[in-house]
Structures are given as C-alpha cells and as structure tokens.
Amino acid sequence: MAVLAIDTSAAVAVALLDDLGTLLASRRVVEQRRHAELLAPMVEEVLAEAGLAPQDLGAVVVGTGPAPFTGLRVGLVTGRTLAFALGVPLHGVASLDAVASEAADRLDLPPGSSVLVVTDARRREVYHARYAVGETGAFGATAVTTTSGPDVGAALDVVAAGHAVEAVVVGQGTALYPDAFRDDQVPDDAPTLPDPAVLARLALARAATGEVLPSEPLYLRRPDAQVPAGAKRASG
C-alpha cells in the first residue's frame, strides 16, 4: 500500500511513497496563497504518475507546522478528509522535523549533532526548533529528537537565547535573516523547506514503533486575520 504525504506549511507539496519509503512521485509549488486551488490537482497528479488510485493508499501523512493558519489548515483538512474517506490511518509530523532530518542526512551529520531549524513566520519572526540527531533507521529516515521548541520569535532573540550554540542552522529563515546567524553555522547545501517524502519516512518509522502521531496543527500564535474585539454578529 502507498503512503501520501502532504505539507502546506511553507509551500504546497505532496509526495507519494511505497510502504518501504521509496519515492514514487512528488510535486512542490512555492506559493503562499493558492493552497486550496493547487493541492487537489497535485494529489491527482502524483497518483496518476504512479499508476495508482486513492484506494491504493494505506496511510496519509500531514505536516503539522508550525505555520500560518490559512495555508497549514488547507493541508490538514485535505489529509484528514482523504484518510477518513478511505478509512486509512492519518499520521501527523511536525514540518520542522522533516527539515532537520533531511539536513542531518544531506550534511552527513553524526549522531549527537545539533540542528536548529528556522523558517519564515512572517511579522519579522521565525518558527524555530532545535534537534538532536539520531541514527538513520527504518525506511531511510534519520531520527531527530526535539530538544527545544517549536516556538516563534525574532531571529536575533533565538540566537540570544542560546538555541544556535554549537548547532548547524538550516531553513529558509537563514536567508531571510542572514545577519542573525554565523556564516560557518549555515551550510550552503542545507534544505530550506520541508520535504513531504521525509515527513512520510519519519511517520512510517515512528508508527512502526507504536508511537502515536496526532495531526493537531502547530499554529503557535493566533491567525493574522482577527475579528475585532467587541464586534457583534448581525441579527436577523
């Protein structure tokens, strides 16, 4: 049975893998506004490329953020709807976990290394989490364990709090706020966005150990669009 992974925390991205973690097809569009318009056709495309139907899915994986409300919600709702309709498990994995795991693999970081992931939170802030690198295990996933975060704040405040000490720093936040991080901590070839294929491999590895993988979103702060305080509903 195949596994479909969806992440809309920083881009609109989907990946289809077999039950051993081998990538069958993937799509990614860097877009912050048209998530709902793009996501369903992308799911259809990866299934068609692999010659599969929705009924061939054995699980659905969703990236749970952290991310702004609107984009993240589209991916979560789509994943939940598919999993419910097909009667298959839904697994949630923090999107920052995927960036950390891919960084550890791509940069060949030894177990015990520290990785700080910083991504765009808008409002001149970053979402951030620090990880300890583990072993590469089942399904080709490099294990990562959160040691601080996820949280949201200004990049300079993240550094001042010590989260970057003796850590490799990765994620799109490094390009947005280059003055906050030392050049020798930011590898040139590090990943910047969550890869849904890595999300799927992490989910498969964690689920195989019996770990529960909830799909609750990590918004970390209230939506940008708010109903003004004291606003009244129209009656009629």
Same domain for 41 and 58, yes or no, is yes
CATH number for position 39: 3.30.420.40
pTM for the predicted model, two decimal places: 0.92
Q: Does residue 213 lie within any of the structural domains?
A: no
Same domain for 67 and 101, yes or no, is no
Q: Does residue 201 lie within any of the structural domains?
A: yes
Q: Does residue 230 lie within any of the structural domains?
A: no
> Residue 78: which domain range?
2-94+195-208
pLDDT of residue 18: 98
pLDDT in tens, 68-77: 888 899 999 9
Same domain for 14 and 39, yes or no, is yes
Same domain for 19 and 53, yes or no, is yes
Total structural domains within the chain:
2
Same domain for 72 and 134, yes or no, is no
Same domain for 89 and 99, yes or no, is no
pLDDT of residue 222: 62
Same domain for 87 and 158, yes or no, is no
Same domain for 150 and 127, yes or no, is yes
Q: Does residue 128 lie within any of the structural domains?
A: yes
pLDDT band at 161 (very low <50, low <70, confident <90, very high): very high
Same domain for 132 and 87, yes or no, is no
Q: Does residue 227 lie within any of the structural domains?
A: no
pLDDT in tens, 5-14: 999 999 999 9
pLDDT band at 135 (very low <50, low <70, confident <90, very high): very high
Q: What is the DSSP string of 85-154?
A: HHT--EEEE-HHHHHHHHHHHHTTPPTT-EEEEEEEEETTEEEEEEEEEEEE-GGGPEEEEEEEEEEEE-
Omega within 30 of 0 (cis) for the link into 223: no
Same domain for 176 and 103, yes or no, is yes
